Structure 1
Amino acid sequence: MRSIELVLDGPSDAVVRALWQTLVAAELPSLGHSGTNDPHVTLVAGEALPVPPDLDVAVPETVRVAGVLLFPAGPGRHVLGLGVVVDEPLARFHRALDAAAPGSLDSSRPGHWAPHVTLARRIRDVDLPAALRVLAADAPLPEVLAVGGLRHWDGDAKVVTRLQ
């Protein structure tokens, strides 16, 4: 699988990592356990997604956090993340990227995409109340995250190509 992702700047990256560590400290699932993941927003993903040529649309400088978001991840499990507001600059950039890098999955196409920053994968349903409690009490959610760049991730080759 390949993807094109917005990465966060240093301070915003640290905010998300602090949220991961809050979950780790509460002995809950978290990407803070992985050690290899970087906080990011996946823009498009697909099996053969190319590195796009130069884009003529500016990368958004910030993304607004909409709140906590859940996706099903199998029986009794969810992905827990920070939802991202699709404002006009982000939507315009996403459409341009979708056109420049064809071959994305339907779930990352305009009109179907639900941008987010993942906090935990496959968290058990029974752990969701505790996760929400510790996040609300110990680590208030950010309102805005600053974008630090754009990258292409080739999961098969484990290669990151910095695009901007």
Structure 2
Amino acid sequence: MRSIELVLTPDADLAVRAAWDALTLADLPSLGRSGTNDPHVTVVAGDGVTVPDTIATPPVQLRLGGVLLFPAGPGRSVLARAVVVGPALAAFHAAVHRAARGTVDTSAPGAWSPHVTFARRVRDVDLGPAVAALRSAPLPDRLGVAGVRHWDGETKTVTRLA
């Protein structure tokens, strides 16, 4: 899978990593355990997403919404926080979607659910403790954006775009 992602400012990155650490300390699934993941917000994804010739100017900040759960198999969920789609983010997303090829349907305008992921495959019985752990490392209402990157999951290659 390949993707175009928003990367966070150092302060925002540290805040997300603190949330990952809180889950790890509670002995719960966490993206902090992977060792190779960086906090980000995926803008578009798909097997054929290539590095675009040009990239739109990203928003300066992202406003966070509530806790999200995405299905991750029987009795399991992905635990995330929503990113609110305001006018600047919607315009950026639409421009990136137009420039990118080979995206999955969930990357399309109107179907995209931007989010910051904390953990994958959290068991249903652990959702309450996971949310409680996240409360111990609260995120700010807004996260700063430091730039845009292209991620190639097959080759584990990052290309900085903006």
Match of 1:146 among 144, 147, 151: 144
What is the CA–CA distance in structure 2 between the aligned matches of 1:44 and 1:133, rounded to whole Å?
30
Amino acid aligned to 1:21: D
Query: Gapped runs of 5+ residues in structure 2?
Result: none
Amino acid aligned to 2:57: A
What is the CA–CA distance in structure 1 between the aligned matches of 2:8 and 2:15, rounded to whole Å?
10
Report the Cα offset of residue 78 of structure 1. Answer: 0.3
Runs of 4+ in 1 over 4 A off after TM superposition: none
What is the CA–CA distance in structure 2 between the aligned matches of 1:144 and 1:151, rounded to whole Å?
20
Partner of 1:99: 98
86-95 vs 127-136, which deviates more?
127-136
CA deviations over 1:27-63 (Å, ceiling 9, x no partner): 11101111110000000001111111113x3211110
Partner of 2:8: 8
**Identity between Structure 1 and Structure 2 (%):** 59
Partner of 2:39: 39
C-alpha RMSD of the superposition = 0.8
TM-score (norm 2): 0.97
1:131 aligns to what SS in structure 2?
helix
Partner of 1:127: 126
2:32 aligns to what SS in structure 1?
helix
Report the Cα offset of residue 158 of structure 1. Answer: 1.2
1:147 aligns to what SS in structure 2?
strand
Alignment coverage as a number of residue pairs: 162
Partner of 1:162: 160
Amino acid aligned to 2:96: L
